[in-house]
Structures are given as C-alpha cells and as structure tokens.
Amino acid sequence: MDTTEFRLRGKEMVDYMCEYMDTLAARRVTPHVEPGYLRPLLPAEAPQDAETWDNIMADVESKIMPGAASPACTELETIVLDWLGKAIGLPNEFLAFSEGSKGGGVIQTSASECVLVTMLAARAQAIKRLKQQHPFVEEGILLSKLMAYCSKEAHSCVEKAAMICFVKLRILEPDDKCALRGATLRQAMEEDEAMGLIPFFVSTTLGTTSCCSFDNLQEIGPVCAKFPAVWLHVDAAYAGNAFICPELKPLLNGIHWADSFNTNLNKWMLVNFDCSTMWVRDRIRLTSALVVDPLYLQHGYSNSTIDYRHWGVPLSRRFRSLKIWFVMRSYGIKGLQAYVRHHCQLAKQFEQLVRQDNRFENDDTGASKVPVRFRHLDTMVRLNTRRESSNYSRSSASPSLSPEGQDNSCLSAKSADSSRKSADSNREIGSRSPRRSPTPQS
Ligand code: PLP
C-alpha cells in the first residue's frame, strides 16, 4: 500500500468508525453467533497471493462484526496463529486445529513475556511432579532445586524470567559459531543432577540478538528428552519470521523436540508493535500454571473453547489478530516471502560493502570485520556486556543484579558456590524417570 492508498483507506476507516457510532442504537448488545462460528467461514490457510483491501474489509463486515469482540477476538487469534504456524513450518502438534493436537498459538505482548510464561508453566509442572514424589517436602525447598539453562548468547529476557520465577539459571558457553551444543548442555545437566539439582527448563535461541547464531536444536532436543519433564523452549524472536521462506526452513530443524516457540511479528513481518506470537505443544501444561477462575469470569463454554486469559498474565485482551489477518491477506505468503528475501539480499550486499572497505578490519577470530576506528570501543563494549565468566546466574539464594551494571561474575560465582554447598541436601530430591520422546516431523 502506497501513501496515496493509505490516505484513502485511513479516511475510509474513520468514516467506518463514525458510521458504527452513529448506528450504535440499532446494533445488538450481544452477538447472535455461537462460539466456533468463525472457523467454517475462513480458509484453513493464509492466501498465497495478495488480496485487495476491499475484499478484506468486506470480510470484516460480514464475518468479524457479527462476532463483535467476543467470540471473534479469540477465534480469529486461534485461526491466524494456525495460518502462521503452518506458514513458518511448525509441527502439527503446535496447531490448534490439527487432528489430535493438544497445542495452539497465542499472541503475547513481547518475546520476554513468552519466555516468562513458558518458564512459569515449566516451573509449575516441575513442582507438581516433585510434590507427587516428595509429598512432605515444602514447595520452597523444591523450588530451590530447580535449574534452568540457556546459552551466553541468549537474550537477557531469559535471565529476567529466571529472576521473576525465583529459579536458578545456568548460562552455558556456546561453541565458536555462538551456538549452544548438546554435549555442553548434557554435561551441565548431569553435573547439576549429580548435585541433587533438578533441570526443568532449557531456553534455546534461533537467531540470537547479537549475531543471529542458531543453537543446535537437533542435539539439544534428545538431551532434554533424557531428563524427566524438562521443558524445551525456542526463542526465535526475530529470525522466526524468516522461516516463512522454504529455503530458510532448514534453520528450524529439530523443532519437533520443542515444547514451545515464539517469534515477534513486529520485528520482521510488517505487523506493528506489539505482536509476539507463541505456540505450545500442550496447552494444558501451559494453562495449568496460570488458571484462576473466579465466579464472575466463569462461562458455559470453558470445555469447548480456548480461553486466552489462562495463556498469559493479562485478563483483558486486545484484538491483535486483526492486524495479523490484514497483513497476511494484504501481502499473501508470497509477498511476505519476498519481503524477507529482499532483506536477506540487502544484508548480503551490506556484507560485501564491508568486506571491500578498508576502513574495516578483521576481528580477532578473522570471522567478521569491525570498523578500524571503533575497534577498541567495540572490544570494550563486548567485554562489558558479555557475561564472560558467568556460569551460574540468578538463584533464589542470591540477590538480583542491579541495572547499573553490578558485577555479574561475582554474583554468578556466589550462586554456583551456594549451589554446590547445598548439593548434599539436594541429592535426595533429584531422582529420575524417563521422559516422552516426540515424534519427528515428517
Ligand atoms: N529474544 C531475542 C532473540 C531478541 O532478539 C529480543 C529482542 O531483541 C528479545 C528476545 C526480547 O524481545 P521483546 O522486546 O519482545 O521482549
């Protein structure tokens, strides 16, 4: 849409809203549709080709408005997240309307919230399981045994989630391609388990913030599967959008091992902020951590419909699926693929320009180039921001880091030390039983 059409459509939209206000008295207070009304009215997949604005608006009037805010708001969210999940190549288990699936997608406010919510769910699952095994041990003690994992390249939101969840986080060293490897994770989990700690959550990243590296899901998945009920999350906050292109889908290999996945459409799919999409393999495992059901929120459809208030922190929800629906239809899958491909080409072109430019020089590894003028600055920044010596972070026993840049390594070391000291008391609780092995995606 160019600016000429944007002006026109924007003015039409104001007219549409005013017309709605002027005819309010003649409209129904409650919709006349039943939950589940929308799915038969919409295609099961996003269109391949772009559609006209007039077509989409006609559907707003005939399909969305009769369902008003409810149930249309919920139903369109489930439908478009299935569209998108299919388009980026998530396994069928993550799609709400796939035969036999227990999963589905939801829109959250941010990737940080997606990581937090999945960690909360994993924590609830782990505590529930431990309480069954150790009914007389206090929950606080069980909580102090839980250990989450991520790579040094993971986004800081994993650390923040661990801080909020009051669990320990072990931050692992990636390989020379900045990817977390299965062997590193296995060794850490085994060491912790030997100390009586309980691995319960692993957050991997596909497309890390600083260098777009990819953790090795194909190695990490089987490692997680060897530990009872470890929740494997995949944070693909920006790179996840690129999986809409078939040639980039191999970067998603190993996703069949994951319990949850998130990507931000507001980062790279032309949807304005905020729009973080998240999918889970088993929605009951997610919602069981978050259900609170007072009388004034109960309704007669709780067994037959999705109730997104149980999928995250907020109760009230915006109609964010509308903007995904508009974008996916206005561009079509082909248009969105072209957009991502164009950016990848621009990145390659930029790489060429940097390589040819003698104002840049190779960094210490020879793998990338940095500006000569900024070389020392760059090194300083990296030294200050990377968690160079941190291994363990965040513990229920250790205080939080100050945003002003308190020394991470000191707290991390303390946390590691306190973890080791409590190892003896931990050993009794960390017993094992086998975990599910997922069906590989065909
Ligand atoms: N994860 C990754 C890989 C990111 O790149 C970012 C942001 O840049 C985040 C998480 C946090 O995203 P948000 O601002 O939506 O919380």
Residue among 115, 180, 238 to mutate when testing ligand 1 (max atoms within 8 A of CB): 238
Q: What is the pLDDT of residue 299?
A: 87
What per-residue confidence (pLDDT) applies to 364?
A: 65
In a domain, 37, yes or no: no
| Separation CA 391–CA 149 (nearest Å) | 10
232 lines ligand 1 (CB under 6 A): no
Whole-number Å distance, alpha carbon 125 to ligand 1 midpoint, is 25
Q: Indicate whether 366 pLDDT > 90.
A: no
Residue 365 lies in a domain: yes
Least confident range of 10-19, 54-63, 264-273, 392-401: 392-401
Q: Is 92 in the pocket of ligand 1 (CB under 6 A)?
A: no
Whether residues 178 and 255 share a domain: the answer is yes
CB 64 within 8 A of CB 243: no
In this prediction, residue 176 has a pLDDT band, given cuts at 50, 70 and 90, of very high
**Residue 368's pLDDT band (boundaries 50, 70, 90)?**
low
Residue 7 lies in a domain: no
Query: Which atom in ligand 1 lies closest to the alpha carbon of residue 276?
Result: 15
Answer yes or no: is 17 within a domain.
Answer: no
Q: What's the average model confidence in pLDDT over 132-146?
A: 96
Please say if the pLDDT value at position 133 is more than 90. Answer: yes
CA-closest residue to ligand 1 atom 5: 209
Question: pLDDT, tens digit, for every residue of 306-352?
Answer: 999 999 999 999 999 999 999 999 999 999 999 999 999 999 999 99
Domain boundary among the residues 351, 366, 382 is at 382
Q: Say yes or no: CB of residue 233 within 6 Å of ligand 1.
A: no
Residues 168 and 210 in one domain: yes
On whether residue 437 sits in a domain, the answer given is no
What pLDDT shows up at residue 395?
A: 42
235 pocket-lining for ligand 1 (C-beta < 6 Å) = yes
Q: In whole angstroms, what is the distance from residue 406 CA to residue 35 CA?
A: 52
Ligand 1 touching residue 266 (CB < 6 A): no
What is the 85 CA–ligand 1 centroid distance (Å)?
Answer: 19
The residues with which 260 forms a beta bridge, in sequence order, are 233, 280
What CATH number corresponds to the domain at position 149? Answer: 3.40.640.10
Tell me the pLDDT tens digit for each residue of 75-114. Answer: 999 999 999 999 999 999 999 999 999 999 999 999 999 9
Answer yes or no: do 165 and 232 share one domain: yes
> Domain check: are 286 and 356 in the same one?
no
How far does the centroid of ligand 1 lie from the alpha carbon of residue 61, in Å?
A: 35
Is the pLDDT confidence value at 420 over 70? Answer: no
Number of domains in the chain: 2
Q: Are residues 324 and 374 in the same domain?
A: no
pLDDT of residue 229: 85
Q: Is residue 6 part of a domain?
A: no
155 lines ligand 1 (CB under 6 A): yes
Q: How far is CA 374 from CA 228, 356, 371, 380, in A?
A: 47, 17, 5, 10
What span, in angstroms and rounded, lies between the C-alpha atoms of 121 and 166? 13
- How much is the average pLDDT of 354-371? 76
- Which pLDDT does position 407 carry in this prediction? 34
What is the band of 360 on the pLDDT scale with cuts at 50, 70, 90?
A: confident
pLDDT digits (tens, 9 = 90+) for 288-302: 888 888 888 888 888
Q: Specify the range with the lowest mean pLDDT, choosing from 50-59, 72-81, 270-279, 284-293.
A: 284-293
Ligand 1 atom 9 nearest Cα: 111
What residue numbers bound the domain in which 142 lies?
74-290+308-328
Residue 430 scores a pLDDT above 50: yes
ipTM given for this complex: 0.99
- Distance, in Å, from the CA atom of 397 to the CA atom of 419, rounded to the nearest integer, reads 9
- List CB contacts of 141: < 8 A, sequence separation 6 or more: 429
Cα distance between residue 360 and residue 349, in whole Å: 15
267 and 344, same domain (yes or no): no
Do the domain assignments include residue 231?
yes
Question: What band does 372 get if pLDDT is binned at 50, 70 and 90?
Answer: low
Nearest atom in ligand 1 to 274's CA: 15
349 and 318 within one domain: no
Choosing from 365, 382, 399, the residue where a domain stops is: 382
161 lines ligand 1 (CB under 6 A): no
pLDDT band at 369 (very low <50, low <70, confident <90, very high): low
Dist. CA 273 → ligand 1 center (Å): 12
197 and 345 share one domain: no
- Is 198 inside a domain boundary? yes
Considering the domain architecture, whether residues 156 and 230 belong to the same structural domain is answered as yes
* Beta strand 231-235 pairing with 260-264: parallel
pLDDT at residue 199 above 70?
A: yes
d(CA 317, CA 242): 27
pLDDT over 50 at 381, yes or no: no
Average pLDDT, the chain: 86
State whether the beta carbon of 275 lies less than 6 angstroms from ligand 1.
no
> What pLDDT is recorded for position 405?
37
Q: Give the tokens for residue 238.
A: 């920006």
Atom of ligand 1 nearest to the CA of 115: 10
Q: Are residues 115 and 232 in the same domain?
A: yes
Residues 263 and 150 occupy one common structural domain: yes
209-251 pLDDT, tens digit per residue, is 999 999 999 999 999 999 988 999 999 999 999 999 999 999 9
User: 206 and 350: one domain?
Assistant: no
